[in-house]
Every structure is written in structure tokens, then in C-alpha cells.
Homo-oligomer: A and B are copies of this chain.
């Protein structure tokens, strides 16, 4: 066991991923994934992991969390867990604890992604270019994005809570769906559509529009039925979902001017990968008026690596 060892953790709204880090690199064989619901607190999950790994001595920990990072005490948006650097440090035997936003960690991982993990969705089949701003965007339990800027001062990540920005609609039909997503909530954010729960609610709305009672399907089941073509309503929901995704990532590409490319991630995005080559997605992505040419030149890739944020944590250790 090395004194240089550290802990990387990526805590999402559903799962926690953990790994040991040595010399700034994730030790692949130590990667583990836990379901949050099996633990009462993040300290319990970390404690269980360390016990399974033979109680390694960790001098530092970098923990990526699906939450705005603002001070030492962090509260997740999509999960009841809270985080305190002192409490987590105690579980780790006094290790220094650093919190990152989970998308900040994903952005820092972009330079470390193995090329075979990036599948071309649109544009150049090359990996995203070096130098220009790159954007990582993901839909899973929630939705967020982060930009990786490169300038003479080095790397800088810009991220926030863009999943909570307003979902933009363009037709009466979309506005009716927006109102369904906004019911009892006052408004519909991007995340109300572009998340697992969002896919489920878009499916429900399509059922209700057809006068059908929605089946009790999980987002994964809706995606599977859409992919196989076995259920037209699931397929319609998937096509609407990728329409919103295309529009939103095109808008974010303009906001951040991410000419270096967009990397898509997140469990729901991956589950609907088939629909990313459909016209609904690409048309919505490129339909940016006078900036259509600018946006059309931006390559889009899908990141096939559920543990990428751990590499980003290691990069910041």
C-alpha cells in the first residue's frame, strides 16, 4: 500500500462509483459501483468500500458530487445525502477531502479518455480537437454540462446547474408537453425532460394524448421498447427526448462556443444512443438560424465510460 494512494469518488443521484488512485491515475482493478439506496450516508458507502479494499491508507480524497459546490457543506439536488468534508475526512483517517461538481470532474477527464471510449455521433470521426473549448453534457438522474476551456493559463472548467435552466419549446404540441412537465411545479426546467424521470413523464404524456393509460415502465424499459420498435408510444417519447437533447446541446454549444466538440454522457443518453443518428436529434442540434453553420461544424461524441468522472477526480488529486 502506497502512501501516495488516494480515493476518488463520483456520487450521482442513483449510484456511487469509487476507486483508488496512485500517482494521479485511477487503479482500474479497484473501481466499484454501489447503489446509494443501500447506504444511509455517503460515509457508510465510503466505509464499506474501504473495508472491501482492505482499509488502504488514503492521504487525500477527491469527491465528485451531483450538486452545486459552494462551501464545505454540500447538499445534493436529486438525493437526500449531504456532505461535510470533516465527517468524510474522519472516515478516511484524516485524509484531505476536496469536493468537485460531478461535471467538473467529467470535464477534467476529457484529456484522459481512451479514444475507443468515444463513439462518433455527428461530424468528424476524430477525437475532439485539442485547444478549442470542449463541452461535456449528460442526462441521467439529472442533467448538467461543463465546459473545459484551455488557454495560456492552463485548463479551466466552467460549470453550473444548467439542468435547471428553462426548457425551450418551439411548437404548441411541445408547449402542452412542457405544461405537463411543469404541473404542480410552476415551470419545466431542462432536467424535467432530459433525465430518466423526464423520459418517463414524456412517455406518460404521449400515452395520455392518445387516451391510453400509461404502463408502469421504468426509463430503461421505455428505452428498450423504443430501441426494439416494439412500442410506438415509447418510440415517440424517445424521439421527443432526443429532439430536446439536440436543441439543448446546440444552445449550450452557442453559450460556451464549444468549437472543440461536445461529449455526451449519462445513462439515459446512452440508453437512447440509437436515436442520436435520427433526423430529430441532428435537425434540432443544427437548427440555429444564422449560427447554423457554426454549430454544424461542432463534432458530437458519445462517451462510453461510466467511470470517467473518477479519472477527472484523479487529475485533480
Contact = CB atoms under 8 A, between A and B. Distances in A.
Contact of A153 (B156, B169, B252): B156
Interface residues of A, number: 47
B168 A167 contact: yes
B162 A170 contact: no
B164 A288 contact: yes
A70 interface: yes
Could you say which of A156, A186, A258 has the most chain B C-beta atoms within 10 Å of its C-beta? Answer: A156
Interface string A135-158: 000000000010101010110101
Secondary structure call for the A interface: mixed
Contacts of A255: 145, 160-162, 165, 252, 255
Interface in A177-211: 178, 182, 185-187, 189
A291 interface: yes
Contacts of A168: 165-169
Nearest to A169: B169
A70 B260 CA distance: 11
Contact of A161 (B68, B247, B254): B254
Contacts of A294: 68, 161
Given A160-B256, A170-B178, A290 B165 contact: no
B289 A187 contact: yes
Contact of A254 (B158, B160, B172): B160
B257 A68 contact: yes
A9 B98 CA distance: 42
A251 interface: yes
A160 to B, nearest CB: 3
A287 B187 contact: yes
A185 B289 contact: yes
B70 A164 contact: no
Nearest to A171: B175
A267 to B, nearest CB: 21
Interface in A233-265: 247, 251-259
Contacts of A162: 254-255
Given A133-B158, A166-B168, 15 more contacts: A70-B259, A145-B255, A156-B156, A160-B255, A160-B258, A161-B255, A164-B290, A165-B168, A165-B251, A166-B251, A167-B168, A169-B175, A170-B182, A172-B175, A255-B255
16 contacts: A68-B257, A70-B259, A77-B290, A149-B156, A160-B257, A161-B257, A164-B254, A165-B251, A166-B168, A166-B170, A170-B178, A170-B182, A172-B175, A187-B287, A187-B288, A252-B255
